[in-house]
């Protein structure tokens, strides 16, 4: 039998399997991924975020953040983000181009209920994230549902790179053609 990375459907399945396994498992290689946005000064911005949901049927991934964070301001301006993930063991990179909807207020209330008690204090810092402060601890952590946002990233394209000793395989899948996929020169 062929290895999963030798066929387009197997490679796409590996994407969603790995992302699915990473949700809720801090030990999984793709539990923390890089979220890149268009910065307000025009260049790229990137930061690590915890993967909170991966839904292969809807082809979406979700992240949690504070409504006052820079990334929310950036995504309000340009609602496109690239998600980058790397599994060192299987030497597999996933790059996803996504269109982002920011869910907050009533739209995120249901998901707030699913946030662990201990994690809620990450949403609602006073003063808000990124504010200059006189000392590293000169801020207050508050669990404020009004500051809780879910970044719902609707995947438009998935690009993969699998690195084997003898060969690299790069593939691209697009929502527009039903994810049939094709190979690219690595």
Ligand X SMILES: Cc1cc2nc3c(=O)[nH]c(=O)nc-3n(C[C@H](O)[C@H](O)[C@H](O)COP(=O)(O)O)c2cc1C
Given the rule CB under 6 A, which residues bind ligand X? 32, 45, 47-50, 63-65, 69-71, 129-130
**Residue 93, both tokens:** 């990179």
CB of 79 to ligand X, least distance (A): 15
Residue for token pair 């396994």: 21
Residue 150 phi/psi, 5-degree rounding, is: -105, 125
CB of 14 to ligand X, least distance (A): 23
CB of 81 to ligand X, least distance (A): 11
CB of 99 to ligand X, least distance (A): 18
Nearest C-alpha neighbor of 173 from the set 45, 21, 56? 56
Other Cβ atoms less than 10 A from the Cβ of 3: the count is: 12
HEC sequence for 9-42: HHHHHHHHHHHHHHCCCCCCCCCEEEEEEECCCC
Q: Which is nearer to ligand X, 34 or 93 (CB)?
A: 34
CB of 145 to ligand X, least distance (A): 15
Nearest-angstrom CA–CA distance, 120 and 106? 17
Q: Which is nearer to ligand X, 144 or 179 (CB)?
A: 144
Q: Which is nearer to ligand X, 47 or 77 (CB)?
A: 47
Q: Which is nearer to ligand X, 44 or 167 (CB)?
A: 44
Can the peptide bond before residue 85 be classed as cis, meaning omega within 30 degrees of 0?
no
Q: Which is nearer to ligand X, 81 or 94 (CB)?
A: 81
């Amino acid at each position: 039998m062929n290895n999963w990375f030798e066929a387009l459907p197997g490679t796409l399945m590996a994407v969603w399997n790995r992302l699915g396994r990473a949700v809720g498992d801090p030990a999984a290689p793709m539990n923390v991924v890089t979220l890149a946005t268009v910065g307000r000064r025009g260049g790229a911005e990137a930061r690590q975020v915890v993967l909170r949901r991966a839904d292969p049927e809807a082809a979406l991934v979700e992240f949690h953040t504070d409504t006052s964070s820079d990334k929310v301001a950036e995504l309000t301006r340009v609602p496109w983000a690239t998600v980058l993930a790397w599994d060192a063991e299987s030497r597999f990179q996933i790059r996803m181009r996504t269109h982002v909807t920011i869910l907050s207020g009533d739209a995120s209330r249901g998901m707030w209920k699913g946030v662990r008690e201990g994690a809620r204090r990450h949403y609602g810092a006073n003063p808000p994230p990124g504010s200059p402060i006189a000392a590293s601890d000169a801020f207050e952590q508050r669990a404020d549902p009004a500051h809780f946002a879910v970044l719902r990233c609707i995947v438009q394209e998935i690009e993969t790179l699998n690195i084997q000793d003898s060969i690299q395989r790069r593939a691209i899948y697009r929502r527009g053609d039903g994810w049939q996929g094709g190979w690219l020169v690595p």
